[in-house]
Amino acid sequence: MRAPRIAVIGAGPAGLGAAHVLVRGGAEVTVFEGADEVGGLARSHVLWGHTVEFGAHLLLRVDPRIDALWDELIGDAYVSVPRSTRILTGGRWLRYPYEPLDIVRTVGLAETARCAAGALRRGPDGPDLEHWVTARFGRPALELFVADYVRKLLGAEPSEIDAGFAATLLGFARQPSLAATARRVMRRAPEPPVVRPDGGVGELPRRMAADVVARGGTLRLGTRPQALAHRDGAVCGVRVDGQDERFDHVVSTTSLAVLAGGLLPAPDDIVARARALRLRGVVLVYLRVHGGVPFADQWVYVTDPSRPVGRIANYDAWRPPHAPAAPETVLAVELGGADDDPLWQAPDSELAARAETELRDLELLGGGTVTGWHVLRLPRVQPVPLVGSGVATDAVRAWVEQIPGLTSTGRFGAFANTGVHESILLGMDAADAVLAAV
Ligand SMILES: Cc1cc2nc3c(=O)[nH]c(=O)nc-3n(C[C@H](O)[C@H](O)[C@H](O)COP(=O)(O)OP(=O)(O)OC[C@H]3O[C@@H](n4cnc5c(N)ncnc54)[C@H](O)[C@@H]3O)c2cc1C
């Protein structure tokens, strides 16, 4: 029997997770990647001699399948450092994920008592994040810990956001389970350490891609299929440069909006639902900072809605424990969000000046001097889980699932704020299902 021929669209973590499983399962795999390099949003690049990512890209090793992948492809070539991430909210610095004792220490007994009293007067549950939080923790906790965070991150009110986002927000999505997270909090066990390959986060997808190729897979960079070939309602290949190339199955990690009505004809209501799924962009300003380590966290997050700055990553915080501070570091400052935010149109020099001023105001530059800047605009990278988007996503995914020969997965196929490891796992799970079916 011949090996099944599978096309994978996208060489980000999800596409490579799928390809990793498919080549090992004996499939003949071709990965089509529109960009000139692999890694998608998890790729690394070098600025002023420092390896950086799109923002912080914190990775935790909390899944056995990821552990096996990591051991095989990365081995010991990584640093592991204690997690240190903080949020500036209401003028106070809190550890994140939130820790009960830290909250009491930082916000004080009176405010804690107000939150506790609020938790006793919980509101009714509902489909949105505001109801979800107030039903479990009360309104003061919503205002203190959640509301500004969500406004800044997603550009929407908690009442507009789907309740399902709570798991991601509260850190549960990155833990093995809610129960495990609760046990960790009860034991006051430390957060698992965060890990980063020596060549940056992008080293993981790079090595995954090299392994796929070493096992006989094909990687076609700079190649974006124009359409999916289909016959009698089933997908049977991809169209590249006007030619149909036959495959037994296509695994797509492109967005549902590109897939439904773009790569493949779809009913009008499905196209409308896929296009209505909101994605938000990020403007990243990298600042080269000389002298003085501004802060020791991998990232800090500023929730104050009057400030355009959001998350700030510090790449020097990946220094192995006990290594001396580097004379220079790079900070990645996330600015703005919505693609119609005037900041998106501002000249790079203005964005860089704005980022520097914000950091000085917040006393996050310490004694450091900014000696260089670089601006990147990443449009449509963050799914905004508005209320009702779950129903819309389910409808589009149900349409995809009934098409023989096609699987959609990954951050943009699932329309979820997945992390790198979760995206890899989505790809792996999709590949398992494909191998079982072909
Ligand atoms: C600012 C920011 C910060 C983040 N921080 C973290 C973090 O701290 N920790 C963490 O774990 N995760 C983080 N993430 C999320 C992480 O980057 C994603 O979960 C992960 O990269 C998603 O993998 P993916 O393969 O599903 O999608 P992507 O990474 O987007 O990869 C999809 C790939 O498919 C290609 N592609 C798309 N359409 C086509 C097409 N039609 N034809 C050919 N190729 C196509 C794209 O070019 C891309 O290479 C962050 C993301 C952002 C934007």
Q: What is the DSSP string of 306-322?
A: TSSEEEEEEGGGGSPTT
pLDDT at 182 over 90: no
Q: Which is more confident, 293 or 342?
A: 342
Task: Out of 44, 84, 201, 420, give the residue to mutate to test ligand 1, the one with the largest number of ligand atoms within 8 Å of its CB.
Answer: 420
For residues 176 and 123, state if they share a domain.
yes
Tell me, in angstroms, the distance from the centre of ligand 1 to residue 97's CA.
Answer: 23
Please give the number of the atom of ligand 1 that sits closest to the Cα of 420: 11
For residues 212 and 248, state if they share a domain.
yes
Burial 81-106 (b: 16+ CB within 10 A, else e): bebbbbbbbeeeebbbbbbeeebeeb
pLDDT bracket for residue 294 (50, 70, 90): confident
For residues 283 and 379, state if they share a domain.
yes
Q: Is 47 in the pocket of ligand 1 (CB under 6 A)?
A: no
In whole angstroms, give the CA distance from residue 249 to residue 373: 44
Residue nearest to atom 42 of ligand 1 (CA): 224
Q: Is 4 in the pocket of ligand 1 (CB under 6 A)?
A: no
For residues 267 and 391, state if they share a domain.
yes
Q: Is 225 in the pocket of ligand 1 (CB under 6 A)?
A: yes
For residues 265 and 297, state if they share a domain.
no
Please give the number of the atom of ligand 1 that sits closest to the Cα of 15: 25
Instruction: Give the pLDDT confidence of 333-348 residue by residue, as tens digits.
Output: 999 766 667 888 899 9
Domain boundary among 123, 154, 186: 186
HSE-up (13 A, CA, CB side) for residue 129: 31
Please give the number of the atom of ligand 1 that sits closest to the Cα of 378: 53
Residue nearest to atom 50 of ligand 1 (CA): 57
For residues 250 and 392, state if they share a domain.
yes
Q: Is 299 in the pocket of ligand 1 (CB under 6 A)?
A: no
Average pLDDT over residues 9-16: 98
Q: How many domains does the chain have?
A: 3
- The DSSP bridge partners found for residue 313 are 299, 332
Residue type, 11: A
Please give the number of the atom of ligand 1 that sits closest to the Cα of 58: 8
Q: Is 409 in the pocket of ligand 1 (CB under 6 A)?
A: no
Task: Out of 250, 253, 279, 331, give the residue to mutate to test ligand 1, the one with the largest number of ligand atoms within 8 Å of its CB.
Answer: 253
Least confident interval from 177-191, 255-269, 393-407: 177-191
Q: Which is more confident, 413 or 325?
A: 413
pLDDT at 184 over 90: no
User: What is the pLDDT, as a whole number, of residue 287?
Assistant: 97
For residues 332 and 363, state if they share a domain.
yes
Identify the domain containing residue 270 by its residue range.
5-42+202-277+385-437
Edge-to-edge order in the sheet of strand 234-240:
227-231, 234-240, 243-246
CA 226 vs CA 6, 349, 373, 375, 409: distances in Å: 17, 36, 36, 30, 19
What is the number of helices (H) and of strands (E) in the chain?
15, 20
Instruction: Give the pLDDT confidence of 205-219 residue by residue, as tens digits.
Output: 999 999 999 999 999
In whole angstroms, give the CA distance from residue 427 to residue 419: 12
User: What is the pLDDT, as a whole number, of residue 159?
Assistant: 96
Name the residue among 415, 298, 253 with its Cα closest to residue 57: 298
For residues 34 and 65, state if they share a domain.
no
User: What is the pLDDT, as a whole number, of residue 62?
Assistant: 86
Average pLDDT over residues 133-139: 89
Q: Is 53 in the pocket of ligand 1 (CB under 6 A)?
A: no
CATH assignment of the domain containing 405: 3.50.50.60
Q: Is 202 in the pocket of ligand 1 (CB under 6 A)?
A: no
Predicted structure pTM score: 0.94
CATH assignment of the domain containing 305: 3.90.660.20
Domain boundary among 132, 160, 186: 186
For residues 92 and 111, state if they share a domain.
no
Dmax over CA atoms of the chain, in Å, equals 72
Tell me, in angstroms, the distance from the centre of ligand 1 to residue 82's CA.
Answer: 25
Residue nearest to atom 34 of ligand 1 (CA): 10
pLDDT bracket for residue 97 (50, 70, 90): confident
For residues 109 and 159, state if they share a domain.
yes
Please give the number of the atom of ligand 1 that sits closest to the Cα of 412: 26
Tell me, in angstroms, the distance from the centre of ligand 1 to residue 5's CA.
Answer: 25
Domain boundary among 140, 156, 186: 186
Tell me, in angstroms, the distance from the centre of ligand 1 to residue 36's CA.
Answer: 14
Please give the number of the atom of ligand 1 that sits closest to the Cα of 40: 49
Can you list the positions of beta strands (E) in 170-248? 194-197, 218-221, 227-231, 234-240, 243-246
Please give the number of the atom of ligand 1 that sits closest to the Cα of 32: 43
- Residue 430 CB burial class (10 angstroms; 0-12, 13-18, ≥19): buried
In whole angstroms, give the CA distance from residue 37 to residue 70: 20
For residues 294 and 344, state if they share a domain.
yes
Tell me, in angstroms, the distance from the centre of ligand 1 to residue 189's CA.
Answer: 31
For residues 10 and 152, state if they share a domain.
no
